[in-house]
Structures are given as C-alpha cells and as structure tokens.
Structure 1
C-alpha cells in the first residue's frame, strides 16, 4: 500500500469535523477525470497502512485512541473465525474527527480478532472542493461514499454491509449483526435515496418527490444525512441530482431551517441566486436572527 504526502505551506487544523456544513457555498467542479493530486503533510491521500497513521502528523490522535480503547475480547472471540472470511475496505479522512475516532478503534479490534491484515484496505480521501471525497486511485468509484469513515464488509467479492460514519452501537457489537446480514447502518437512508436515484432516473425522481417524501418521512437519522449526501454528489458533478436531493430534504424536514439553508447553498453554487434567496429567507423565518443564514442571504442578494 502507498501513501501520498507533500509539504504544506500553511497548517490546516487537524481536528476538522467531517460532518459537512450544509451552508458551504463554494462552487463544485465537474467530475474528476484525472487522479487526485497528493496534498499535504497533514493529510494522507490514497492507499495507506497503519504505519502511515503512526507518523508524527497523525500520531497525536491515532496513538491515544488506539491505546486507550478497551476491546471487548469476549465478543470479538465469538466472531473472529467468521470475520476472517471477509475483506474489509475503509474510506476515511485524516482530516475527519469521526475517522480519527473510529479507525484506530477498528485497527485494535481487528488485531484482537487476528484478522488477516492483507484482507484490509484503507483509503484516505480528500476534503478539498475540487476533489471532494475522492482518492488518487479512484478506489471509491461506484461505492457511494458520502460520509466518512465508511467501513465496507465484503464476502466473495460482494458487499454484505457497511458501517457509515458511526457504528450503531460499538464496532464490536455491530460486526456480528453485519455478519448475520441483518444490519441497518447509522446513515442508511442516504444509500436508499442513492438507489432510488439510480433506479428511477433524475426526471422520475423529481416527478415523484411528494411520494418519496412520504415514504422517507421520519427515516433519516437527522437533517444533515441528506444534506451531506446532496452536497457530496453535487460537488462530484451531479449537480441537478444534488439539488433534487436537497429539495427532498426540505420536504422531509419542513420545519428545520438547515434543510432550506442546504438547498439555498446548492442554488448559490449554481448561481441561481433568486432561488437561493427564497430558501435562505425560509431558513431565517424558522431561525430568526441566525447570523450565518443572514450572511448567506446578504451574499446572495449582492450577487443577484
């Protein structure tokens, strides 16, 4: 496995939350055709190993989490033989605090399970706008990586299930449920919406928005689940799909200001400022005096 490093001319804060803010309005680029460029000494990109995460730029978060975690060895012993029949793929961000929490824990659990490490693949993806949640080798291609970390369990070259950003309980408790094929990930609704988009096509998806909102009402973990998914596919070039998902989110969460702010941000990204203004005004109606929403509204009005 390889890691990709380059010197940095300025420091990026290491503990950056990886749950996307729905109000980010930086314009997304088209889908990446070439390999993502290596980035910084504070950020790994591409295929990595545990040794990479123990280097000085990362050991401050990797080592304490790894050493402090107390593995439930009794539970691990109950599934270790079956787990050895699987291959595991991990998509993470060294810039992401959820990855910083879960990935060291996963390593310690797999080592306690005597898991064959040649069957583990760890991919570090980017958080920059132009390469959003992409890796140099495109290992994430076709895998719908929208939250990180994503931990995918494969058997016989087919995905069985995945942990998405958080385990539902703990990793040790989630693994036997995954192996039993009776597991719903923490952010599973984004995957269901992804499948709907693929099976229905964009136009049918938009035409059936009301029935989809009814079908998924109360199912997402929170308003950010679909905001993050919408933002991810938008930044990766599926702009109309991203807007459609963001619209659906406002229908599922009609009383949450963040859903309208998320949709407004995508309209701003498209320079559709009249539509953006309408959404930011709805957000402010629900959250009067919110300075972030007001700033976005003012910015959109200035650009109109």
Structure 2
C-alpha cells in the first residue's frame, strides 16, 4: 500500500509492514534523557515511502521513540510525516519543499534552522543521532 501526503503516526504503526518493528523496538531511555530537557521546540519532518523496507524499520522505531518522549510530558517535539510515492512525490507537493534523494529522511529543525538529517538509516542509532544533532 502506498500512502502519500501528510500521514499520522497511528496510521503508520498499524500497517502490517510497520507493526513488528514498532512493537519489538525498545527505546534507550538513558540516551533520550537530554531530549527530555529541551528548552526550545524542535520540528522534525519525516519523509517516508510506505512501500520502502528501510522506512518500515526506521520510521516505526522513530514513532516509538517519540511516543516514549511524549509519555514523559515532552511536548515540544513536533513531527510531520510526509508520505511519497515511488517517484518520491506527493499530491500536495509538500515533500518537494525539502531537498532529498533517499528515504526515509528525517530533517531536524530548530528555530527555522536545519540542525541535521538522518538519511536511510542512523549512523549509531536513532536516539544517539537525534541527541547528537540537538546538542551541537
């Protein structure tokens, strides 16, 4: 199934391809600790293809991480999920506002400035890479 445009995490984690990665992933809460102390809002744009196996794994894990942070009253992390088709386009052309060639692409922004990206898969782990970008 190919879903495009703005997507909701609850929809994604219920897709059969995402479910096992979402349900089996254990977040590393120790590494996430600095993200619980963010004083400024963070915007994360996630460009995904619901047909992409890397997206199934990484986006499902990312959703789990964000849910873990929000369970701990961390509400200043705002995430937008944008689904693209196999040509990496969406009907509203929202994803085209961002330069990207591979998916998933996680774009981390604060105060309108891009702090960094995670492209296809993290260097260390999603938690470590996110914390490193936010602590620069």
Does the alignment reach a TM-score above 0.5? yes
Q: Which structure dedicates a bigger proportion of its chain to helix?
A: 1
Question: Corresponding residue for 1:46?
Answer: 5
Aligned counterpart, 1:82 = 38
Equivalent position of 1:91 in the other structure = 47
List runs of 5+ in structure 2 lacking aligned partners: none
Per the normalisation by structure 2, the TM-score is 0.89
For the residue of structure 1 that corresponds to 2:38, the secondary structure is helix
Matches of 1:50 and 1:82, distance apart in 2: 22
Return the offset for 1:77: 1.8
What secondary structure sits across from 1:169 in the alignment? coil
Of 96, 99, 103, the residue aligned with 1:141 is 96
Q: Deviations over 1:130-173 (max 9, x none)?
A: xx111111112242110000000111122111101110010011
Structure 2 counterparts to residues 256-267 of structure 1, below 5 A:
none
- Supply the distance in 2 between the matched residues of 1:120 and 1:174 (Cα, whole angstroms): 16
CA distance in 1, matches of 2:69, 2:92: 29
RMSD: 1.8
The structure number with the bigger radius of gyration is 1
Native 8 Å contact 2:21 2:60 kept in 1: yes
Cα pair 2:40 2:110 within 8 Å, conserved: no
TM-score, normalised on structure 1?
A: 0.41
Distance 1:165 1:139, change over 3 A: same
Higher relative contact order (CA 8 A, sep 6+): 2
Secondary structure, aligned partner of 1:82: coil
